[in-house]
Chain A
Amino acid sequence: MLSMNLLLDAVVLGTLLGCFYAAVSLGLSVSFGLLDVPNVAHPAFLVAASYGVVFLNDQFDIDPLLAGLLITPLLFVFGLFAYRLYYETFERRGSDAGVRGIAFFFGIAFIIEVLIILQFGVDQRSVSASYIGKAWRIGEMRIPLRMLVAFAVAAGLTILLALYLSRTFMGRAIRAVAQDEEALRLMGANPVWIKQWAFGIATAVLGIAGALLVIVAPIEPTLDRAYIGRTFCVVVMAGLGSISGTLLAAIILGVAEEIVVTLFGASWAPAISFAMLLGVLAIRPQGLLGRRS
């Protein structure tokens, strides 16, 4: 069964993987966790950003991380417009916004999937960089270098976003709007603009997250379906909108996935995040480390 060595392997690799899951969930933690936007299309945006990185890497031989950084401003502007559209069509009109908002983002996700298929085909794509394909050996354990890179960058990104939300003026404004929109309005601030900015930040971090996605493993157009489970599992388990919670929840998910894959084989991998998500939702719909009591 599960020897100590295998368990240690699973925990170490799971922690690395978990940090990567945190990075891809950060955007959703802001857009869904803080802003309450039912952003089912988040994983589709993530995969689209990854294909942007693949394109730049293919055409101009740019390092994937640099490519991710290059498309970040583009994603930010996209986020500004996307939230504006969502706000004008759903939030402002109020009634029945929930049902239609969810359907809206679900539709967007499928449109992105098909556009990627039409542009890049259904085959798996990957990127080339000096750190992909090599591995570190520590005693018995073999750790792929790409996982270490992903781990370091993901941890850095998570800390940066946490600092942004707690230290800067705009970051605090975003958390304020999540807590009490009406109060913010009474202070003379424009909550819609702050939410728009926040949604921009949520899509902007997808640049680096998308680069990590394709560094960790090859991507395909329908990969977003698996990441619906992973990202929502992390964000809901973290307690909506908590960045430190996101990191912890993502590591729990990463370790759980590694252990199950070691024990039962890779074919069970897709179900783990969804099962955990379902479990958390059934017990505590507001998340494990919940912001709302």
Chain B
Amino acid sequence: MSRSSLPFWIGVALFLVAAAGMTQVIVNEYPFFAAYGILQFVVLAVAWSILGGYAGYVNFGTSAFFGVGVYTAVFLTKAIGVPLAVQIAAAAIIGAFLGFAVGLLTLRMQGIFFSIATIAMTIIIETSVTNWRFVGGAAGIQLQRPPVMPPFGSYMQMLFFVQALLAVLAIAVARYIQGSWIGRGLQALKDDELAAECSGVPTLRLKLMACVISGALMCAAGAPAAMYLQYADPSSAFNLNYSVSVLAMSLIGGTAHWAGPVLGAILLGATQQALAVTISSEVNVLVLGVMLVLFVVAAPEGLIGLIRRGVGRRKGDKA
């Protein structure tokens, strides 16, 4: 563990202690409900950035991975009724396989072709699930939450803490990748794929790794959503709104550093929760879309870029 890692792990520990403390102190369900939504987007945005940010492959298929996670949980609950942890682990494994398959099929495509292919994959999986009677088909399926385990007062609190753990896991993975040879390789192929390939960077293998890790995390984030909503249907589980939200959060936060998507997801996720309660979910998507376009046009490096430029200027003043 390097010296700069210490503050990070202290931060992680403090966050988890605070999250665990919250579940013991706060009785009202709503804060956990809202915080769960934000944490879910933190996981998705951080996972998205591993492929989309470091490697520059714009993945519109977030909703495919998320939806597969949801339906893995639905299937396991309905078929054999396994506990939540098993559902999440199973979703992560399936997500990894799906990421591998999708990667093999699509990662040779570049730019817009890759993006369109990921949308195609989303719709194909959604249509297959819609035609799958066992998990409810187009009408969807109701789910009953099992009784909660002791340290937590309610199932919602447990879901919140589980999602907090997933968020920490996703951030730690992204942070590790960013600093390792994988991250540097992805960065190289983002700048110039041909040049990277020629210099001996194993581009396809790196992209596959990124796709597998990203897919596993996204599916894992989707698995608890079935119990969170106590209901699942294909058109909302695979809704492209997840894709655009996660894309917006990552790009607005800035994808050059793992903190970017975290920042973007917290800011936009909180705004979304507030807007969905006070105005409507349509306005919600509108705000998201406008912010995305504004940032892409005016601040391509995202919030992280703006902060860095601000810090750089202040340092320049002192010198």
Contact = CB atoms under 8 A, between A and B. Distances in A.
Interface string B91-131: 00000000000000110110111011101110110111011
A32 B124 CA distance: 23
A111 B288 CA distance: 9
Contacts of B247: 103, 106
Contact of B286 (A96, A103, A115): A115
Contact of A99 (B58, B108, B116): B58
A40 B112 contact: yes
Interface string B161-203: 0000000000000000000000000000000000000000000
Interface stretch (B22-30, B144-152, B293-301): B293-301
A102 B297 contact: no
A108 B113 CA distance: 18
Given A111-B293, A268-B131, A38 B112 contact: yes
A183 interface: no
Contacts of B47: none
A107 B115 contact: no
Nearest to B55: A99
Given A99-B58, A115-B286, A281 B127 contact: no
B127 A271 contact: yes
B317 interface: no
Interface stretch (A149-157, A170-178, A204-212, A272-280): A272-280
A106 B60 contact: yes
B68 interface: no
Interface in B25-43: none
Interface core residue of A96, A102, A275 (most chain B CB under 10 Å): A102
A98 B300 contact: no
B240 interface: yes
A218 interface: no
B138 interface: yes
Contact of B58 (A103, A108, A117): A103
A96 B300 contact: yes
- Interface of chain A: mostly helix, strand, loop or mixed: helix
A280 B292 CA distance: 31
Nearest to A277: B120
Contacts of B130: 267
B282 A281 contact: no
B251 interface: yes
Contacts of A225: 123, 240
Given A111-B289, A232-B116, A285-B113, A102 B58 contact: yes
Nearest to B285: A114
Contacts of A267: 127, 130-131, 138
A98 B288 contact: no
Nearest to A113: B285
A118 B111 CA distance: 32
A274 B60 CA distance: 14
A281 B109 contact: yes
Nearest to A88: B297
A100 B111 CA distance: 10
Contacts of B117: 277-278, 281
Contacts of B115: 38, 40, 102, 106
Given A107-B244, A110-B244, A267-B138, A102 B112 contact: yes
Contacts of B282: 114, 117-118
B244 to A, nearest CB: 5
Contacts of A118: 282-283, 286
B56 interface: yes
Contacts of B251: 100, 103
A274 B297 CA distance: 30
A115 B120 CA distance: 25
Contacts of A226: 123
B290 interface: yes
Interface string A110-134: 1101110110000000000000000
Contacts of B292: 103, 106-107, 110
A229 B127 contact: no
Contacts of A32: 112
Contacts of B240: 225
Contacts of B248: 107
A228 B116 contact: yes
A222 B51 CA distance: 27
Nearest to B138: A267
Interface of A: 32, 38, 40, 89, 96, 98-100, 102-104, 106-108, 110-111, 113-115, 117-118, 225-226, 228-229, 232, 236, 267-268, 270-271, 274-275, 277-278, 281-282, 285
25 contacts: A40-B112, A96-B56, A99-B56, A103-B58, A103-B251, A103-B292, A104-B293, A106-B60, A106-B247, A107-B244, A110-B244, A113-B285, A114-B282, A114-B286, A118-B282, A225-B240, A232-B116, A267-B131, A270-B126, A271-B123, A274-B123, A275-B124, A278-B121, A281-B116, A281-B117
Given A102-B111, A102-B112, A275-B120, 12 more contacts: A89-B297, A99-B56, A104-B296, A108-B293, A110-B241, A114-B285, A225-B123, A226-B123, A278-B117, A278-B121, A278-B124, A281-B113
Interface of B: 52, 56, 58, 60, 105-106, 108-109, 111-113, 115-117, 119-121, 123-124, 126-128, 130-131, 138, 240-241, 244, 247-248, 251, 282-283, 285-286, 288-290, 292-293, 296-297, 300
